[in-house]
Structure 1
Amino acid sequence: MSSVQFIIFELEQQQYGIEIDFVNGINKLKDFKISSIPNCPDFIEGIINLRGKVIPLYNLRKRFKFQDSTIRKDDEILIAIVNDIMIGLILDEVIDIVRIEDTDIEPTSALFSTNIVNNFISSIAKKDAQMIIILNVEKILTVKEQDLIAPLIQNKETEAVNT
């Protein structure tokens, strides 16, 4: 029997998980100044400078189309690496790091028709009495969004080096 380790976080009173292999760090939102980027999708809040790297910030509340999409001062940023692009995911708070047995994870295709389930939800995990929605972090960004954000990050990093 094998298991996978996940970072568990909360968003609008629901627990979500991302495989730990995609996570590069966790930070407090209040520790950063967010710079806006014009002409970006509304769920991209802007960019931050994290130890000399330009990181785009994704508001998961907006990405998931939650009614209240306001970011809060006490929100956290989970830094993830998606297809070689480092991004920040704004969420309520990181709860835990847990190991979940494969037998406690069900693919969403077994639970729902693929027309209903969003592309970035890969499975549902059961841990104790809790249901955890496991995200496919590689699909949070579409290819079009990756192509849009990559030049912006490179341009900002070049400006930071040249100043």
Structure 2
Amino acid sequence: MSSVQFIIFELEQQQYGIEIDFVNGINKLNDLKISHIPNSPTFIEGIINLRGKIIPLYNLRKRFQFQNNTIRKNDEILIAIVNDIMIGLIVDEVVDIVRIEDTDIESTVTLFSSNITNEFISSIAKKDDQMIIILNAEKILTVKERDIITPLIEK
């Protein structure tokens, strides 16, 4: 039996997970200055300069089409490397790092019909009576979105 480590974070009182291998760091939003980019997709809040690197910020509340999608000063940013691009994912709070057994993870393909699943959600995990939605980090950015943000971060 094998297991995978995940960073667990909350959005609107629901827990989500992303494999730890994709995460490069965690920062407080209130410590950073956001530069807004005109004509960018609505879920891209802007870019930040983090230790000399330009990083686009994704508002996951907007990406997931939540009603309450404004960012707050106490939000946190998960710095992730997705398809060789460093991005910041704005989340309510990072709550834990956990190891989840493969037997406690179910693919969304087996749970739902294809017309209601989301391409960036890979599975659902069970951990201590919690349901954790596992994100497919490699699918968070579409090809079109990569084409939009790549010129912003290249030097």
Whole-Å separation in 2 of the counterparts to 1:32 and 1:65: 24
1:127 — aligned with what? 127
Counterpart position of 1:78: 78
Structure 2 unaligned blocks of 5 or more: none
Match for 1:16: what amino acid?
Answer: Y
Tell me, in whole angstroms, the C-alpha distance in 2 between the residues paired with 1:10 and 1:86.
21
In 1: Cα distance, 2:152 partner to 2:74 partner: 27
Aligned to 1:153: 153
Q: Measure the CA separation in 1 of the matches of 2:5 and 2:94.
A: 14
- Aligned twin of 2:9: 9
Structure 1 segments, 4+ long, off by >2 Å, are: none
Normalising by structure 1, report the TM-score. Answer: 0.94
**Equivalent-residue separation in structure 2 for 1:115 and 1:135 (angstroms):** 17
Q: How many residues are paired up?
A: 155
Q: Secondary structure of 2:147's match?
A: helix
Where in structure 1 are there 5+ consecutive unaligned residues? 159-163
**Greater helix proportion:** 1
Could you tell me which residue of structure 1 aligns to residue 142 of structure 2? 142
> Whose Rg is larger?
1
- Name the aligned partner's letter for residue 52 of structure 1: G
1:114 and 1:2 mapped to 2: Cα distance?
27
Q: What is the distance in 2 between the residues matched to 1:31 and 1:48? A: 11
Quote how far apart the aligned CAs of 1:78 are. 0.2
Q: Does 1:44 align with 2:44?
A: yes
Cα distance in 1, alignment partners of residues 130 and 40 from structure 2 = 35
Offset, 1:112:
0.1
Q: Matched residues, percent identical?
A: 84
Counterpart position of 1:114: 114
Aligned amino acid, residue 42 of structure 1:
T
Q: Does residue 35 in structure 1 map to residue 35 in structure 2?
A: yes
Secondary structure of 1:117's counterpart equals coil
Q: Aligned-pair distance for 1:9?
A: 0.3
1:152 deviates by 1.1
Q: Secondary structure at the match of 2:21?
A: helix
